[in-house]
Chains A and B, each alone.
Chain A
């Protein structure tokens, strides 16, 4: 893909304040993303979403973050001030959340919310923002933008809501999009349409994408590279095409847990985890299986 990485994350550690001491969520995660589609997979609690929030520096107050480097196209996100971060959020990096039912403000029309998103960064007039919002609604393939502009979030369907969400996040024309399980609240047919739409938009705008998901099939077919996360550590990083032949025991375990339509099983195997993986350097698990 592109030689210059858009997003660089080096040795990212995040921990949350728990009731009995600090609970680590990420233990030294490093990766680089260029103009490509990176999938992040892992179980619940493996730190997938925490990566997204860390990059935007929107972790809750109880979290503490440390890293050697966290940068987007040369902008240091680690030492940026809050006001500098505000110009990065939305304008440079955007994030699409899981469920549009909760991520749209119930008392504002969807049009107002898209227009506001534009106005925050462009300092435009109200009229200009509205025109841009209508254009954007059309870009996310909503058939009657004028009508949808005036609808409230409860009046649109899940798929439509997620399109609105994408429109809202892409209208400031960011360089990078993080999609945190963008399709898990939707049914399967809508999922495919929506991923196709995201794909088209990020290609046309030459953006980088991180797709966070627990759906291995979806990630394997949609992304260029896959990062496998367990317990806040990177287990392995592989090309999507190589997923079927992954060697790390954890990835193999994840793959074995998928229900497959051509291999019906009465009981899916249980995932075997090994805490020793958490202290190994990245790739060690893969190397061991080679011996």
Chain B
């Protein structure tokens, strides 16, 4: 059994008629994920990749009650309404690809999701992939590239960065290993699913033998890993790279890279590395070392 996605995953794409929505639909279908329909207000009745488009999620679910995952590809100013529409209609897993969603909108969506026991991955998440099972979103890119990078295996991959999700997974593949799942959690200040949430899933996942993480300076999510390790909530080998060692060149409050990667006192890459090392994680100096560190446990 894999995490987050399986053969019963049935995806609805919000914003399916847009350029990115269409691209994502093709990416998912090509990898064998069951995209059943899409929604774009005002475009009901059209089709994308032979999948019917509806005006609302409610209409879509009347025809396709089997939908259990939504992938959201709408512009930032429509993201809050889109996410809330998915939650209200009972969809339990939502991947939000939209970038630059205002923080208060995200906060409202995450609170509503929590109250309704909905898992949100993102915002600003390119999605997640379980090799040979399926993918939600566009992680891995076009099929040919995805097949070059991903093969079923025992390494879990988590990253704040979309490009680095692929890059890390590629390092895994080059070392002759495979991935149990790779998840781009998004680089925003507030995110629906963080490292800790995923490590808890990977702990339960029999296929996963070890996990590698691409982390960043700023924010508290890496410190949540420390707490999890200290309380014995994750017992498999874990290697992590924390980017942004150079960030102390910048004044406090500067945002570099992702929205969540803010230069903050006490939350720099160095502080995170020390705390993680003390809690028993393996810390990589360069991201390429992650695979070297984890290989003996694969």
Asked if chains A and B come from one complex, the reply is no
Contacts from A to B (Cβ < 8 Å)? none
Contacts from B to A (Cβ < 8 Å)? none
